[in-house]
Amino acid sequence: MQEVEYAIAGGGLAGLYAAWLLERRGIQNYVVLEARARLGGRIQSFATPDGNAGFDLGPAWYWPEYQPQLAQLVSELGLASFAQHEQGEMMYERFPGEAPMRTAGYASSPQSMRLQGGMSAITEALRANLNPACIRTGVKVRRASKHADFIEIACQDTDGSTSSWRARHLLLAIPPRLVQEGIEFVPALPAAVARTWRDTATWMAPHAKYLAVYDKPFWREQGLSGEARSAVGVLGEIHDASMPGGAAALFGFFRIPVQARVRAGNDVLRDHCRAQLARLFGQQGAAPRADVIQDWALDSLTATSRDQIAEAQHPMTPPAVIVEGDWLGCLRGIASEWSPQFPGYLAGAVEAADRAIETLNFSERGK
C-alpha cells in the first residue's frame, strides 16, 4: 500500500489545479488518480489527421469579465486567448420544408473567449508543472474506507489489477453523482449528503457535440458568423469553432436526446449533420475534411443512467464537505458542480478546488 498525505480522485481541471496549488506550496506528497487513459476529464480536444489541433469537444468558452480567477490562471500559465468569432449574420431554421432564414447576428456580452490550442491547453499546462510521479492514469477509485487517522483508497486499474493508497485527505475531483454511484464509502456517507450528491446533475452529461473541420471558413465569405439555431435539424445550436490562422471548423450541439442518437448511430447522424450544414451554409458544408461526434452521454466516466434527460439549468451547489460523523474534515468535493458561483463551468472547477485547498490545515503534519 502506497502512502500520501493528499489523494485527488480525478484528473480533470479541478484535480490538476488542486495538485498545482499543492505544488505551489511546496507539497509533492500527493497523488492524482485518473480513471481515463488521458487527463482532462470533460475537457477534450480533437486533432485532425494532418495535425491541426485544438477543436474542443467539451467546454470551449470562458468569460474573463466575470470569471477573474480563471482568467488569472490563464494569464499565469502564459496561455493565449482569443474572442469567439461572432461577426456577421446568423442562420435560423424554424419549420420543416422551409428555407433557413438569414437574420441579424449578435455579440455575446460579456465577451466569450477561447484558448489557442483549445481548452486542453490549460490542462496540459497544469500537467507540465506537476511532478509526473504524482500522476496516475487508468486508475479508478472504487472504495474509500475511513480509519482512525487515514483513508484507505482501493482502486481498479484498466488492466484489471488492483492497487491501494493510504491518505489523510481525499479530494473528489469527480462530479457528485459519479462519486456517489461509483465509489463505495466505508462507513457510508451521511444519508442527506449521499442523497444530495446523487441528485446533483452532472453538467453537459446528457449532451453530444458534432465538429466539422474545413480548409477555410467559407461561411464568413458570405457575411455569416457561423452561428445558427434550428428547430428542424439534428443540431439545435451551431457556432464557429475556427482557430485564428489555422483550420476552420463549425461545431453544433445535438438537440435530439441520447436515445434517438443511439438508435440512429454515428454514421446516420453524420449524414444528417452534413446535410444540415449544407442547408444552412451552402454545399461546402456537406464536405468537411474531418468530422467527429463526441457523445458525453455514452461516456460512463461522465454520465450515468440518471443523466439521460437534459437539465435546463446549471446544477444547484451541493455540500462540498462533511460536517459530522466519521468523514468530518478529511473529505472534500472539488469538481465544478461543487462551486458556489459557477457550478458546471470551467471557472467552477477552479473555484471549488481553490476553496478546498484553502481549508486544508497544512500544519497538521507539515508538508
Q: What is the pLDDT of residues 214-247, one digit of tens each?
A: 999 999 999 999 999 999 999 999 999 999 887 8
Instruction: Summarize pLDDT for 17-71 with one digit per residue, the tens.
Output: 999 999 999 999 999 999 999 999 999 999 877 766 689 999 999 999 999 999 9
pLDDT exceeds cutoff 50 at 365? no
Do β-strands 331-333 and 169-172 pair in parallel, antiparallel, or remain unpaired?
Answer: parallel
pLDDT, mean of residues 76-96: 95
Counting residues of the chain whose pLDDT is more than 70, the rounded percentage is 96
Say what the pTM is.
0.94
Domains of the chain plus CATH, in order, are 1-42+119-203+313-367 (3.50.50.60), 44-115+205-310 (3.90.660.10)
Cβ proximity of 102 and 66 under 8 Å: no
Predicted confidence at residue 309, as pLDDT, reads 76
Give the separation between CA 349 and CA 335, rounded to whole angstroms: 5
Q: What's the pLDDT band for 152 if we cut at 50, 70, 90?
A: very high
E-strand ranges in 174-247 read 184-186, 208-214, 224-230, 235-240
Instruction: Summarize pLDDT for 92-149 with one digit per residue, the tens.
Output: 999 998 999 999 888 887 899 999 999 999 999 999 999 999 999 999 999 999 999 9
Q: What's the pLDDT band for 313 if we cut at 50, 70, 90?
A: low
